[in-house]
Amino acid sequence: MIVIVPDSLTRSTMHNIRRSAQHSSVRSPGLVRTAFGSLLFVAAALFCAKASAQFRVEISGVGATQLPIAITKFRDEDRATPSLSISAIVRADLERSGVFKGVDAPGGLDENSQPGMTEWRGRAADALVAGSITRLADGRFDIRFKLWDVVKGTPLGGQSTAVETGDLRLAAHRIADYIYEKLTGEKGVFSTRIAYVTKGGGRFTLRVADADGEGGQVALNSAEPIISPAWSPDGKQLAYVSFESQKAVVYSQDTASGARRALANFRGSNSAPAWSPDGQTLAVTLSRDGGSQLYLLSRDGGTPRRLTTSNAIDTEPAFSPDGRSIYFVSDRGGGPQIYRIPASGGNVERVTFGGSYNISPAISPDGRTLAYISRQGSAFRLYTLDVAGNGQPQALTDTNDDESPSFAPNGKLIIYASRAAGRDVLMTTTLDGKIKARLVSTTADVREPVWGPYGR
């Protein structure tokens, strides 16, 4: 196993977080005190960078076939953007995908260079990236790069773009996407976002970060638990469950503005929101009629339509990508297993059979693979299953406390929560389980990750 911890990333990340913390502005929290209730602290803040969660990236594993790629330091990178390294972000993104293996290489090149391919073949690189960063008079940064196919000895393309300081990370992720797509033919997910929950010091936050776990910003700050975040398909809203009123209530929040509203606040518990692919409907678990049952609710709230009718627990709905079926967890057969029901209602079909406890279904964007958590003995482990019914369930990890799997929008990676050395951590894994990356929070426990859609 190879463990890579990019030191430059750590140093520059901490510098960046310190800098942005000085510029953060937090809207003052509203205190809600009721005669019988606890003192609450709930602030649906506008985007403000908080320094409390810092991530290091650790990547482990050896893939079946990995393309060796040399990403040289961009010319003037250290001088123009001392707080972060564009080339290091690109390299970490590509390595985390499991498809690429970074090759160490000296700098000294830029997008106008004529690199000697023999030299680069000698370094065992199949591809080469070089570029430059220039500070413009208006304060923006001009970033240029070129990609070469070393094997063929030809340039494959490149880009130049001008960005503001706040978009430097995004620019690096977009470069990684470009390289990924040029060399694999698949769409990259490096400029997508994730959401997750942190717990620490008696507080809970819902945060939004880049897909590499960096640049986390607080969307919700609460003294009470937050669970089950879910991105709307357009990436503009986050639905989640908040216990701020001493019971489970489903909210939906606009991430850019912080505007939020309660979508489901019926009698008893309201939880497990899941968006339909067209973004018009949510499936939720409600106890308003007794027990925990699945209902469908318009994105604008209103009267829910009951979907399941059992005397069992039916929960954790997840729409199939074509919107026609809903996977869910039910213990109607004794213990919790994953089932499927038509979104318009109808016959329930059982999907998982191995093991006595299977929960937390997530379905791949092509609809073919189910990821879920299966209890094996006393361990809770991430598994995948081909939903067409061919083959056996595959364990992706050998850890014992896996939770909350969520697919990247290109279906090539899964993010999940796990436990390492007594802390809750976020992990990504390739679908074969071979390459894993750990996003380690050094200050708080992190859980409930969800991967956001394309398009930012």
The footprint of another protein (CB under 8 A) covers 33, 35-36, 38-39, 41, 202-204, 223-225, 227-228, 243, 246-248, 267-269, 271-272, 285, 287, 290-292, 313, 315-316, 329, 331, 336, 357, 359-360, 373, 375, 378, 380, 403-404, 448
Six-digit token string for 148: 């070469």
Cα gap 294→239, rounded to integer Å: 16
Least spacing, CB of residue 336 vs another protein, in Å:
5
What separation in angstroms does the CA of 41 have from each of 19, 31, 38, 64, 223? 26, 6, 10, 49, 5
- Which is nearer to another protein, 288 or 434 (by Cβ)? 288
Least spacing, CB of residue 344 vs another protein, in Å:
23
Least spacing, CB of residue 36 vs another protein, in Å:
5
- Which is nearer to another protein, 23 or 33 (by Cβ)? 33
- Which is nearer to another protein, 37 or 122 (by Cβ)? 37
DSSP label of 266: -
Least spacing, CB of residue 285 vs another protein, in Å:
7
In degrees and rounded to multiples of 5, residue 79 shows phi and psi of -80, -45
Cα gap 86→74, rounded to integer Å: 8
Beta strand ranges found along 237-348 (DSSP E): 237-242, 249-254, 260-264, 270-275, 281-286, 293-298, 301-306, 314-319, 325-330, 337-342
- Which is nearer to another protein, 343 or 417 (by Cβ)? 417
Least spacing, CB of residue 22 vs another protein, in Å:
24
Q: Which amino acid is at 399?
A: T
* Gap between the terminal Cα atoms of the chain: 34
323, 276 Cβ separation under 8 angstroms: yes
Least spacing, CB of residue 180 vs another protein, in Å:
33
- Which is nearer to another protein, 190 or 243 (by Cβ)? 243
What b/e string do you get for 396-413 counting C-beta neighbours within 10 Å, with b at 16 or more? bbebebbbbbbbbbbbbb
Least spacing, CB of residue 25 vs another protein, in Å:
21
Strand 237-242 relative to strand 249-254: parallel, antiparallel, unpaired?
antiparallel
- Which is nearer to another protein, 127 or 272 (by Cβ)? 272
Residue 58: exposure state from Cβ atoms within 10 A (0-12, 13-18, ≥19) = middle
Cα gap 393→2, rounded to integer Å: 27
163, 141 Cβ separation under 8 angstroms: yes
- Which is nearer to another protein, 239 or 329 (by Cβ)? 329
Least spacing, CB of residue 329 vs another protein, in Å:
6
Least spacing, CB of residue 223 vs another protein, in Å:
4
Q: Quick one: which of 160, 163, 159 has its CA closest to 138? A: 163
Least spacing, CB of residue 154 vs another protein, in Å:
51
Cα gap 99→435, rounded to integer Å: 9
Cα gap 276→120, rounded to integer Å: 48
- Which is nearer to another protein, 328 or 407 (by Cβ)? 328
Cα gap 397→382, rounded to integer Å: 6
- Which is nearer to another protein, 189 or 341 (by Cβ)? 341
- Which is nearer to another protein, 270 or 428 (by Cβ)? 270
